[in-house]
Structure 1
Amino acid sequence: MKIGIVGGTGDIGEGIALRLSPLFDVVVGSREKEKAQECCTLGSETLRKRGLACSLTGVSNQQAVDEADIVILAIPYKHLVGTLQTLNGFENKIVISPVNPMEKRDFFTTVPPVEGSAALLIKKMISPQAKICTAFNAIAANRWKALDEELTYSVPVCGDDAGAKHTVMEMVNRISHLTSFDAGPLAASGMVESLTPLLLNIARYNKIRDVGIQFR
């Protein structure tokens, strides 16, 4: 199974690539292919120094979509529409959205689009044959990149296609100590996306770091 990461040279995309590439074939996409290739070279060296074999290839964002079975949209919400307008070829692919529509005002707050969530906006913009799931919304970039530490979080997964959701949940469960949970249909994604601003506010007002969620 090949996983493509659109926006794979950003903080979250880079961290996801480091965690996934010892387990799967990963193609890292960027607006600048050379930047993706450089990121993959450095990532491969980092993993090899830890004794981990990996499969990391740097490509353009469009190539990441074209070559992958599963596409992860590691894109900040403010760049989501502009990025998706440049891409095509999502038909029959599983598309994972960790995108959280939020802003920092006096506190962090969710700012969903009129569709109700970033995931539903993505559904509106790309092929109706794409199988969209939300996942990884509440894991911070620095946690992905802290390779000496296990990820012990719960990961809510939303989606309308049962087979795609099952595939995503199985993938999640292979990463470190993450545990996936079925969080319902794609229409429930807004609740999942709102977790991140909540966690950031808790971290800020209680002066704690690395706030995550666990369901027990």
Structure 2
Amino acid sequence: MLGGTGHEGTGLALRWAKAGYEVIIGSRDATNAISAAADLQSRSGGLISGAENSDAADRADIVVLAVPFQVQVKLASAVREALIGKILIDVTVPLVPPKVARVQLPAAGSAVEALQQILGPEVRVISAFQNVSAHQLADLDGPIDCDLLVCGDDPEAREQVCQLARAIGVRAWHAGPLANSAAAEALTSVLIFINKRYKISNGAGIRITGLQEE
């Protein structure tokens, strides 16, 4: 979990650890990562350790990138060698402060698709979790009341991410190629606006209707 000390990364780490997965928190400073991991482990009751970013990525089977848009490419590029042959779940949303409730997609269309082009085909980049409330993830006693769109060019990798999502109680759906990530990335700003307009403290989400559980 690169970015495991942020709100979204913390929530995902807690949920996966509680579900029985081993989680490694990555940080620029190994000491900070170890300290954060100890706190999260005590909260989840699961197995969570900490390491410097490149070490965490090297040790992991699947890597999650949950960092602000401004550092997405820099961090992923720095650990690229450790990502080769692996799935990278990118949670990036191209928010541009201060107008985060307004959709502002990058010129390339999708921030996650642009990262795939930079990292190359040796890394299987999957877009997911942009529209799942960090507040709901962190509340280990409560349900996660939303669906998840999973985009990627590799169907097998998409399915693995769907299974990881279902393991923590999220209904997850294949949403097409990585180019479709632009829709999920844009939806985050829409949900932020809805949260503010209707004062939704626990975070609005989306539901896909007309489908049965897979």
State whether TM-score is above 0.5. yes
**Count of matched residue positions in the alignment of Structure 1 and Structure 2:** 206
Residue identity matched to 2:175: A
> CA contact under 8 A between 2:146 and 2:171: conserved in structure 1?
yes
Residue identity matched to 2:134: A
Cα 1:107/1:205, change in 2 over 3 Å = farther
Q: In structure 1, what is the equivalent of residue 112 of structure 2?
A: 119
Q: In structure 1, what is the equivalent of residue 9 of structure 2?
A: 13
Q: In structure 1, what is the equivalent of residue 188 of structure 2?
A: 196
Please state how far the C-alpha of 1:41 moved relative to its aligned partner.
Answer: 0.7
Is 1:62 aligned to residue 54 of structure 2? yes
Q: TM-score, normalised by structure 1?
A: 0.90
Is 1:47 aligned to residue 44 of structure 2? yes
Cα 1:16/1:107, change in 2 over 3 Å = closer
> CA contact under 8 A between 1:152 and 1:179: conserved in structure 2?
no
Q: Which has a greater percent of helix?
A: 2
Unaligned runs of 5+ in 1: 49-53
SS at match of 1:112: coil
> CA contact under 8 A between 2:162 and 2:173: conserved in structure 1?
yes
> CA contact under 8 A between 2:17 and 2:44: conserved in structure 1?
no
Please state how far the C-alpha of 1:106 moved relative to its aligned partner.
Answer: 5.4
Q: Which has a greater percent of strand?
A: 1
Q: In structure 2, what is the equivalent of residue 51 of structure 1?
A: none
Please state how far the C-alpha of 1:7 moved relative to its aligned partner.
Answer: 1.3
How do 1:102-181 and structure 2 match up within 5 A? 102-105=95-98, 108-175=101-168, 177-181=169-173
Q: In structure 1, what is the equivalent of residue 34 of structure 2?
A: 37
Residue identity matched to 2:166: N
Cα 1:206/1:71, change in 2 over 3 Å = same
Q: TM-score, normalised by structure 2?
A: 0.90
